[in-house]
Amino acid sequence: MQIDRRYADYGLTGGFFLICHLALLWALGYWPTINTDAIKDLFPKDAPFVAPIITGFAGALAVIAVFVVGLILDLSASIFRGEEMKIFARHLDHNSEWLTAFIEAHKAYCRPDYETFRRVIRELPTPRAGLMRIFTSKFWKPEEWRRIVEVAKVNWGLGIAPEYERLLSFFTSYVMGQSGPAQLTLMADQYSLWRTARAIAIALWLLAIEAIFVSNILGLLASAVIIILISWTILGFTVLIIRGPYSRLCFTLFSLLYMVCEKQIVPQKNADPAP
């Protein structure tokens, strides 16, 4: 991980999150007022050198706060892992023709995770089937509750998260160990864009949830409908933000993995003696 790039990403996402909250406060009419007289009283008039020190210290704390908020957003973005697992599963299915041989060649490490992950994702009900089960399920039966909990765990990025993370880490590590500098730069750019997009998506998601919550608490009946509509639009937009960069990351990852596999297979074919 490049430290300077991660700091830039944390600063971008943390600043975006704080600016969005300032905009929300302004829209709700709670813009903070600054009392300049009270600020002047904080600085002693007989010690003018104290003011630059306090100002610099406050500025440093503000910068640290922005980076800390960006780091927390990056860590909290795993809430979208369920959507990412479904995209990853579609790429596994799309590349299964050549990926099966790769998994078999490294079966000691990744084949159990590969088979478990694909089996669980395939058993997930479609959105239409899930909606029909809500009206036809027998909720008083324990086995029905267990099935609902298992589906909910997968949809929220739990359940088979270890299998998914091991597969993703193994594919990424394999590509990084076998690729050249140009390929690694391409992979790093897509990876950085994906993490930044996740942090921005979680910032928008939290902002939408807070807007709905605050509008209900404050009783803003006149603008509640507009706020709720805008908030749900933002929630839908976060899904698009997640899908786009992660899909490009998966396209890049599996393309590089395929190229690496081909480079290893061709020399082996040339080395095999002709019958």
Tell me the two tokens of residue 17: 């999150």
Burial of 156 from C-beta contacts in 10 A (0-12 / 13-18 / 19+): middle
Alpha-carbon span 183 to 193, nearest angstrom: 16
CA separation, residue 109 to residues 52, 86, 103 (Å): 58, 22, 9
Tell me the two tokens of residue 119: 């089996």
Alpha helices in the chain (DSSP H): 3-27, 36-42, 50-76, 81-94, 96-105, 107-123, 127-136, 142-155, 161-178, 181-218, 221-271
CA separation, residue 10 to residues 13, 38, 56, 67, 69 (Å): 5, 32, 21, 5, 7
Contacts of 178 (CB under 8 A, 6+ apart): 260, 263, 264
Alpha-carbon span 32 to 104, nearest angstrom: 61
Q: How far apart are the first and last CA of the chain?
A: 48
- The sign of the CA dihedral 219, 224, 228, 230 is negative
Report if pTM > 0.85: no
Using alpha carbons only, give the angle 104, 110, 115 rounded to the nearest 5 degrees. Answer: 80
Alpha-carbon span 105 to 248, nearest angstrom: 26
Coil, helix or strand at residue 237: helix
Task: Give the pLDDT of the chain (275 residues) as one tens digit per residue.
Answer: 455 667 777 888 888 888 887 877 776 666 666 555 555 555 556 556 666 666 777 778 878 888 888 888 888 878 888 888 889 999 999 998 888 888 888 888 888 888 888 888 887 766 665 555 655 666 556 666 566 666 666 766 677 888 888 999 999 888 888 777 777 788 888 888 888 888 888 888 888 777 777 766 655 544 556 666 666 777 777 778 888 889 999 999 999 888 888 776 544 444 444 44
Alpha-carbon span 206 to 223, nearest angstrom: 19
